[in-house]
Amino acid sequence: MSGTWGKNIKLSIFGESHGSAIGITIDGLEPGLEIDIEAVKKEMDRRAPGRSPLATARRESDTFEILSGYFNDRTTGTPLCAIIRNADQHSKDYGDLKKLMRPGHADYTGNVRYKGFNDYRGGGHFSGRITAPLVFAGAIAKQILANKGIIIGSHIKSIEKIQDASFEEIDLNEDLIRKLSYESFPVINKSSGDNMQELILKVKKDLDSVGGIVETVILNLPSGIGSPFFDSVESHLSSIIFSIPATKGIEFGKGFDISALKGSEANDEFYIENDIIKTKTNNNGGILGGITSGMPLVFRTAIKPTASISREQHTVDIEAHKNATLSIKGRHDPCIVPRAVPVIEAASAIAILDLMLDIR
């Protein structure tokens, strides 16, 4: 397998959910970059488990330790490596999962791919726990982009069928994006957020789970970033977003809805304001021909319901090679969407920084 991603910024993630530690190596950072460690900790706290009744009860501080590539508060230019110790594993909850395949999980496919040698505890290397190192790398990328005036923010667009307002319906500004980043359950309309949280608690009580959609915007991107075809902004972003466990879809701008429009409706007409070229609409989400147009880059990520639920489900016993039933034990999120928000932002920052280094 390959745990490596990137072209100019290369990431290599390692570890398992119930191993001693998880971590990441970041290659390609320029020397002399000052890192705001407190800002990194803030991003890590946004993703960390055990901080809300809406999330898993597993408590991990996500405290990171930088092992290399960082000296006297600045990057050295050599690979930056950081680890995060695991401290609250309940591996005994996963004893039966060596033979009983959890529906919706990678237990079966992982067992086949790695010939039964995969670490199945807590999902092993397939676990959402492995996104913590990704958030660490993304926090650094966000700081580099912020120094260039580029801001990334997200909100929970929907949980099951409950909808929040869309970014395209409001006046996008940096103050709103920053405000959302401080909220544990970021939504534009508070009433929608309250209804979403009530639903999550209800399905938790019912031993079930729900999914939803995260909408992300990247503001102040210059035009001209990206390339056509194989290295388009869409393909580059999608490749890392789909690396986030539970991601099942991504759409840019109007996304699938643009297929129902006429060309006269879908085309974003140009105009000049204060000597800056803009478009009257943003149906294409700030990307044309795989290259940024200078308009806000907007995309949405579909997150499936958490696969681990306590209801009894049908499965197979791969050792006995027979049908079986399974009630999953352990501590799991009834909805992974709120904790996916900072992960998606982190992945976005990494992808955009990687693309921007093409034109330095």
How would DSSP label each residue in 318-340?
TTTTEEEEE---S---S--HHHH
294 annotated as a binding-site residue: no
Highest mean pLDDT among 64-78, 110-124, 327-341: 64-78
Section 228-254 average pLDDT: 96
Is 127 annotated to bind a ligand? Reply is: yes
The values of phi and psi at residue 204, to 5°, are -65, -45
Q: At residue 194, what are phi and psi to the nearest 5 degrees?
A: -60, -45
Report pLDDT for 90. 52
HSE of 261, CA atoms in CB hemisphere, 13 A:
14
Residue pair 226/238 in contact (Cβ under 8 Å)? The answer is no
Mean model confidence pLDDT for the chain? 92
Whether 89 shows a pLDDT value over 70: the answer reads no
Q: Look up the pTM and report it.
A: 0.93
Q: What is the pLDDT of residue 270?
A: 97
| Ligand-binding site membership of 322 (annotated) | no
* Residue 306 assigned ligand-binding role: yes
- Answer yes or no: is pLDDT of 233 > 60: yes
Please indicate whether residue 229 or residue 56 has the higher confidence score (pLDDT): 229
E-only strand ranges, the chain: 4-5, 10-15, 21-27, 64-68, 70-71, 74-75, 80-85, 151-159, 162-163, 212-219, 247-252, 270-273, 276-279, 287-288, 291-292, 297-303, 313-317, 322-326
Q: Average the pLDDT over 2-7 and give the result.
A: 88
Percent of the chain clearing pLDDT 90 (strictly above): 79
Residue 126, marked binder: yes
- Backbone torsions φ then ψ of 298, nearest 5 degrees: -120, 130
Q: Is 331 annotated as a binding residue?
A: yes
Pick the CATH number of 4-359 from 3.60.150.10, 3.40.50.920, 2.40.128.110, 3.40.50.300: 3.60.150.10
Look at residue 118 in the predicted model and tell me its pLDDT.
85
For residue 248, which of 306, 197, 167 has the smallest C-alpha distance?
A: 306
- Two tokens, residue 15: 């570890």
Is 308 annotated as contributing to ligand binding? Answer: yes
Q: What is the pLDDT, as a whole number, of residue 359?
A: 82
**Residue 125 marked in a binding site:** yes
pLDDT tops 80 at residue 203: yes
Mean pLDDT, residues 186-200: 97
Q: Is 39 annotated as a binding residue?
A: no
**Is 232 annotated to bind ligand?**
no
The answer to whether the CB of 152 falls within 8 A of the CB of 348 is yes
In the predicted structure, residue 156 carries a pLDDT above the cut 60: yes
Q: Tell me whether residue 304 is annotated as binding.
A: yes
Q: What is the pLDDT of residue 360?
A: 65
Greater confidence (47 vs 347) lies with: 347
